[in-house]
Structure 1
């Protein structure tokens, strides 16, 4: 090889290294994470407090408008009571629970149904226009929805306005769009040699932390300040978050990685391209997506179902106790996502962690269904500690199967599954609760436990039928090496994200 040829190769190598350093600039990486934290905390904490406030105000509103409030007050504030005294009949109590579940279902469906169509489409467009627009859309719609709810509470307007506000939020994809934007951010800025499963798990742990804060604070804020001030504070926090996104949040999806498709039909077609790509095992992708469906079905509607369950008999919990229970469960699961994921990852593969998580999740639902005392119910967060890891591991598997220019498309499929299960669970679980509240109120938890057990069975089937090479294809980092077990290949493949394809 001549000196001129060597010089040309050296120059090409320097150019490649420079491009790689531009893509993974340390300053950009630090800035993204620094701004992503306050954006996530503001949106999700305000959204959580808003949710608890709205659900409990709906029941209070129904008690007053249906003219069966017995006039009692607790701690100087009208408390959403269990109505189990001599002035309230069993029929009135059941009717209030049924109506609360019905209006909660209307509001949830008004948000989830448009989210199903919108969130997947905007995620594919983010492959062309960037990720920042997703944050702006989500924060703006959440601010508008909270403002409408605040006015409804203040003027005691019809519950239909709550549904309208939820529908407006749903037209942007609701919090699914924000969650999708965050996942794509992490996919953009996580270096290829890093473990994306850990990054996603830490972010999910942050969400659990936000849920813990909102659950703990909602009971105190509602009791001390009231429903209207609580909603005003949430609206202000969401509005400030919108300004923070517009002024401080940088774009991470570089132009050289952006897709070139333009029309709506092309964007929709991109969502289905992951099922046709020859770059990986499509059968394995579909199996993991089906497992994710059952896992999401078992977890997406858990909080709202627990809230209705705990407001009613035999527990009749106050806002304080409801918030404390929800905070305990989210804190335990957040701890597992942030702290336990690293030692677990050293000992088990991604698939094995998902399997262990699904088993614990199933056990927590069985315990919750059979609990008859407050002590037994507070044991549920302990059993459910590892229950949230399965969803994170499955998302990491799906992301690792997909090349960089199709990350938006694969996360669009993830969001489609999440929104479709949210619609299905909202409708089915509320109807199950409505029909069985006077017979066996824990029926919904038996159903959720069954769905979680289906995820366990499918994960076992996946481990038995899919080898690492069959799942990910013979790439540099995930090809089978001498002495490797199937789990070694699966674990290593998460670290070789996309860049080796």
Structure 2
């Protein structure tokens, strides 16, 4: 009987492993990395154009006689040795427009991302990719027309609203993470795959920022924006005609009127449902860490460009693009590429802690910087800040069953979008009200928020080590991997057979 019992236990465990095994893969299944690269490339190029064009437009509108070179990008005029009242007024107006744009894009994006992630578990991942990619293309095309015909910049808000309704760039990121979760196992392989996506993001950011500065200097603003639209259209072509669907007919379900609340319930169930007893505390702690970290990471770019193109730096489009590309290269390619090495001696929690420490140091140096060299030192010191978010995503994904990955990442994307909205509003408001006495105040605030994230990460690391480990000897011999779900289901099988 013991031999039969052991055979039944192994058979039950094997069936569970097969149930959760990823589907067969081909080279086409790795296309989310390319799609993410193209979207971030086009998005960063368009954002670079918008970030420099809006202050220039406002400078022309508010002070028509003010001589600022069109291709320069900086709002400092020639031979201006300190920040003038005009320069400060332009920065305040640009920050105010950024607030409007964030509201128009961010509020609908929060709602859209919550629904898109949950619905992708029913409608498929292609749907999740195509919706935000199409909205992004329409938004950037409207920006192109505004620049080409010198239209009022308020028309840009129409495109931002369309982009927000369709989910925005974070929905593309969410789609990529959900897709990778479908084709990888729930172990450090998934952490490495998520890091691969982060590298794709980094390369897209680097190439987009670097090329934009030189492109603007050489051709003005129209051609870079047109190129961004072409890149986004290529991404849509790949999604429609090349990318394979990972959700089969057996896993898709028809959406009915009574199922909407079930999707919303699925998103929040990770944090409130009694069925997650034993893991619910970890879900909630992880989402708090994710919230505090993404609040600064996503909200920072809205004020960073204004900080660089004004005194004392007065950077032009080339310097802004060069800095952004080098910082992106170091953060999203080199630091992300080191995750595999860091995993040799650190857990996911340890890597995330290292990232938070790096982020604090980077923000403090940026706040105190008065020269170009100090800004580059800040980028190096804070480069590891990008490590925290992918590690938290990996931790939460490993705790989640395959049929709920879309709901998980949908909720995460919704929170990340909300953090981007609130962060951008908060940091632009702080920057606009503190620019006259200490321009670096906003970065000190960011460092304090990351400090909160660091404290929560330490609690997570300590608590994770103190979770009691099940001690049934025969189960430990049969289950060697770290897949929590397989372990739990196998334990149920073992206890049933024991009775």
TM over 0.5: yes
- The match for 1:173 among 167, 170, 179 is 167
- Cα deviation, residue 69, structure 1: 4.5
Write out per-residue CA displacement over residues 379-425 of structure 1, whole angstroms, 9 at most, x where no aligned residue. Answer: 11211221110111111111111111211121122112201111111
User: Any conservation in 1 of the 2:138–2:163 contact (CA below 8 Å)?
Assistant: yes
In structure 1, the residue matched to 2:306 is: 308
User: Any conservation in 2 of the 1:307–1:322 contact (CA below 8 Å)?
Assistant: yes
- The match for 1:243 among 218, 221, 237 is 237
Write out per-residue CA displacement over residues 233-267 of structure 1, whole angstroms, 9 at most, x where no aligned residue. Answer: 11122112212211111101234444676422221
Alignment of 1:346-385 (within 5 A): 346-385=344-383
Alignment of 1:33-432 (within 5 A): 33=30, 35-73=31-69, 77=71, 79-83=73-77, 85=79, 90-192=84-186, 195-258=189-252, 262=256, 263-275=259-271, 276-279=273-276, 280-432=278-430
- Cα deviation, residue 335, structure 1: 2.9
Write out per-residue CA displacement over residues 344-385 of structure 1, whole angstroms, 9 at most, x where no aligned residue. Answer: 001111111111110111011011111111111111121122
Cα 1:391–1:60 change in 2 (3 A) is same
Structure 2 residue matching 1:388: 3-state secondary structure: helix
Cα 1:466–1:241 change in 2 (3 A) is closer
- Cα deviation, residue 188, structure 1: 0.2
User: Any conservation in 1 of the 2:351–2:387 contact (CA below 8 Å)?
Assistant: yes
- Cα deviation, residue 291, structure 1: 1.0
- Cα deviation, residue 87, structure 1: 11
Cα RMSD (Å) of the superposition?
A: 3.0
Cα 1:71–1:122 change in 2 (3 A) is same
- Cα deviation, residue 304, structure 1: 2.5
Structure 1 residue matching 2:343: 3-state secondary structure: helix
Runs (5+) with no aligned partner, structure 2: 489-499
- Cα deviation, residue 52, structure 1: 0.6
User: Any conservation in 1 of the 2:105–2:164 contact (CA below 8 Å)?
Assistant: yes
C-alpha distance in 2, partners of 1:70/1:61? 12
Runs (5+) with no aligned partner, structure 1: 482-491
Cα 1:190–1:441 change in 2 (3 A) is same
Structure 2 residue matching 1:299: 3-state secondary structure: helix
C-alpha distance in 2, partners of 1:238/1:298? 27
User: Any conservation in 2 of the 1:469–1:480 contact (CA below 8 Å)?
Assistant: no
Structure 2 residue matching 1:278: 3-state secondary structure: helix
Cα 1:87–1:333 change in 2 (3 A) is closer
- Cα deviation, residue 134, structure 1: 1.1
C-alpha distance in 1, partners of 2:178/2:313? 41
The answer to whether residue 448 in structure 2 is matched with residue 458 in structure 1 is: no
Write out per-residue CA displacement over residues 77-113 of structure 1, whole angstroms, 9 at most, x where no aligned residue. Answer: 4644313646998211110110111112211221111
Structure 2 residue matching 1:26: 3-state secondary structure: coil
Write out per-residue CA displacement over residues 12-70 of structure 1, whole angstroms, 9 at most, x where no aligned residue. Answer: 99x9699769952133xx3210x223322221101100001011110111111112453
- The match for 1:438 among 436, 439, 455 is 436
Cα 1:395–1:71 change in 2 (3 A) is same
In structure 1, the residue matched to 2:483 is: 496
- The match for 2:29 among 22, 28, 32 is 32
Cα 1:134–1:18 change in 2 (3 A) is same
User: Any conservation in 2 of the 1:52–1:218 contact (CA below 8 Å)?
Assistant: yes
C-alpha distance in 1, partners of 2:201/2:143? 23
Q: TM-score, normalised by structure 2?
A: 0.88
C-alpha distance in 1, partners of 2:377/2:69? 30
User: Any conservation in 2 of the 1:110–1:167 contact (CA below 8 Å)?
Assistant: yes
Instruction: Count residues in correspondence.
Output: 475
More off after superposition, 327-336 vs 152-161: 327-336
More off after superposition, 196-205 vs 357-366: 196-205
- Cα deviation, residue 277, structure 1: 4.6
- Tell which has more relative contact order, 1 or 2 (C-alpha 8 A, sep 6+): 2
Write out per-residue CA displacement over residues 186-221 of structure 1, whole angstroms, 9 at most, x where no aligned residue. Answer: 100013455211111121121011101111111011
Cα 1:401–1:69 change in 2 (3 A) is farther
In structure 2, the residue matched to 1:485 is: none
Alignment of 1:465-476 (within 5 A): 465-467=463-465, 469=467
User: Any conservation in 1 of the 2:117–2:411 contact (CA below 8 Å)?
Assistant: no
